[in-house]
Amino acid sequence: MGVPKLINLIRRTRPISSYTYSSSLILTRSIHSRNSLLNPTNLDSNFKSQSRYKPNLGFSSFQSLPIHTSSSNNNDNDNDNEGFSFNDVKFNKESDLWNSGFDQSSDEVVKEVISVVQNGSWYDPAVQTVVSVLDGFHGLTNLPWWIVIASSTLALRLTILPILVLQFSKAKKIAELFPKLPPPLPPPFSGKSIREQFLLFRKERKAIGCPSYLWNFSYVSVQIPCFFLWMYTIRTMSLHHHPGFDCGGALWFQNLTQIPHGSYAATFPILIAGLHYINIQVSFRGSSIDKMTGVMGKIFKFYKLYLELLTIPFFFVGFFLPQGSLVYWVTNSCISVIQNLSLQHPTLREKLGLPDKNAIVKRETSSSTDNLEINFLDKPGQRVNVQNLSPDELLSLSVQLLSKGHHDRAIPLLRFALDKDPNHVRSMVVLGQTFIQKQWLPESIGVLEHAVRKLLVGGQPANEEEVDLLILASTWAGVANIKQGKNKEGLEHLERITQIEEPVDPKGKAHYFDGLVLLSSALFNEGRKVESEEYLRKVVAYDPSKNDLLQQLLEDDAKTY
C-alpha cells in the first residue's frame, strides 16, 4: 500500500525539505522495482505513448525529488525498538508516512494517478480513431498527405450524403401533410396553453404519419460534428508534427505543419472566404426568399446576411490555422459547392425523388399571405396583393374560398384580417365556424368566446349587425363546447340567445331561431324536456317546416313514459 501513497506524495510536489531521508529511500526502491508504476521502463513507454498528442503531459514532479542510497550508519537498536523494516529501508515512526500527506485511501490515489496518465478529453478516442484511419490510408496508398486529406474529406462527404437525401424525402412528406395539421402553437384568443396545443399537434401528426420536424436537422447534426472532428484531428496532427506532414504538401504549401506565410500567405484565406460566399449564393439561388415580405421574409433575409458576413471572420481565421487544416477546409467547401449545384438540377432531383426545392418556401409564403395576389371580377386584368386589402375585403375573399371548400387558404386570410383589426368581430365568428369544420374545437371555442366578450363589453348590443353576430357567436360557441363534452358551458352560451330580443332583420331572425333549435336539442339531451318543447314550439310558430322536429320530440317523450 506504500507505493500508491508515495505516488500521491509525488503528485503533491511538496518542497524537498518536507520529505524525510527515509521517504527518499522508499522512492529509490519504488523506481527500481520491476512492477512499479514508477519504473523507468514503464515511465518511458507511458510517456512516449501519450506525448505525441498530449504535449502537456509530463512527469516534471519526479525531477525535483532527490534520489539517495541506503546509509550504513543507521542504528540497528533504534530500528528494532522504534521503527519497522521495509526491505532495507528504515522508518523511525509509522506516523512519518501519514504526516507526509498520505491522507487518502489507496484506491483514490490510484485513480488520481490514472487521471494524470490518461489526462485526455472525452473526444480523444474519436480523434485517435481518425488519426489511425488516416495513417492506415496513407500507409496503404503511399500518397502525399495533402491528397490523403482531400480524398478522406471526399469519402466522408459521400458517406453522409444518403442522410441528406433521406432528409429531403422526409421534408417532402412533411410539406404534403402539413396543411392537414393544426398549428403547433395556439392561435390568438384560443384560450389554450402552448403545451396543450403542442400535444394536440403531436397527436394529429402521429395519427396521419407525418414525420417529425427534427428530420430537417438530421444532416446538419451529422455534418457539423464530422467537420469539427476532422478539422481538429488534422490540426492536432499538424501542430504535433505528425510524421510526413512537414513535407506532405505541394506547390506553395509544402509544409502542412506551418501556418500560411510568405507571398502566398493569403491564398488559402481567400479560397476559404470566397468558397463560403459562393456556397451561400448557390444555396439561395432561385429561391423565393428574396421575394418574401413580412416577418418570415425579414427573418430569412437577416439569416442570409448573417451567413454572408461570416465571410470576413473566415478570411482572417485562415491566417492562423496550419496549412494541413486549410487543405481540409478548402476541399470541404469545394465539395459543398458541387453538392449544392448538383442537387439543384431538376433532373437529378426527380431521379432521387426529391421535392421541389422551393416547395416549403412557397407553401409558407402562400399560407402567410405575403405574396398572395387575387383578381377581382370588376377589375379584369388587375392583380391586387392581399397586403393592400382591408379587413372587410379579406373577410369577403375568405368567405368565397370557404364556399369552394378551400379552408386552408381561407384561414390565413381571416387571421390576417384580425392582425389588421383585432376588433373585427365578424372575422372572429367566421374563423370560429371554420375551426369547427376543421374539428379544431379548442381553437374555435377560444375565438368565439373572445368574440362574445367583445360584443358584450358595453352590455347587450343594440346594433342589428352586432346582435346578429352575438347570436352566431353564442350559437357556435355552444355547439363547440357540447362537442367537447362541456355541456354546462355549451348550454350557457345557447341560453344567452333567449335573453336577446327577437331580431326584426330577416337574416338575424333566421339565425335566432336556428339557435333556439340547437338549444331545444341540448335541453332535451339534458332531460329538460318541458323547456325543450317550449322553445321548439316557438320555432315552429316562426317556421312551420320545423314541425317534424316537434313531432319527433313528442314521440320520444311519449316513449319514455
C-alpha cell at 20: 524525510
Q: Indicate yes or no: pTM above 0.85.
A: no
Residues across the chain: 561
Q: What's at 226, amino acid-wise?
A: C
C-alpha cell at 222: 451529422
Give the residue carrying C-alpha cell 529509490: 28
Please give the Cα distance from 510 to 503 (Å, whole number). Answer: 9
State the helix-helix crossing angle for 464-483 and 487-496, rounded to 10 degrees.
Answer: 160
Please give the Cα distance from 317 to 244 (Å, whole number). Answer: 25
Query: Could you give the residue range(s) of every CATH 1.25.40.10 domain in the chain?
Result: 451-561
Please give the Cα distance from 550 to 162 (Å, whole number). Answer: 66
C-alpha cell at 304: 442570409
Q: Give the number of other Cβ atoms within 10 Å of residue 401's Cβ.
A: 19
Q: Give the number of other Cβ atoms within 10 Å of residue 520's Cβ.
A: 26
Q: Residue 311: what pLDDT?
A: 93
Beta bridge partners of 274: none
Could you say which of 1.10.287.70, 1.25.40.10, 3.40.1190.20, 3.40.50.620 is the CATH number of the domain covering 451-561? Answer: 1.25.40.10
Contact by Cβ (8 Å): 309, 329? no
Q: Residue 189: what pLDDT?
A: 54
SS3 state at 158: helix
Which residues are CB-neighbours of 359 under 8 A, at least 6 positions away?
172, 175
Q: Residue 80: what pLDDT?
A: 46
Please give the Cα distance from 468 to 509 (Å, whole number). Answer: 8
C-alpha cell at 116: 494524470
Which residues are CB-neighbours of 13 under 8 A, at least 6 positions away?
61, 64
Segments of the chain scoring below 70 in pLDDT: 1-120, 179, 187-192, 286-297, 354-386, 557-561
Q: Residue 312: what pLDDT?
A: 94
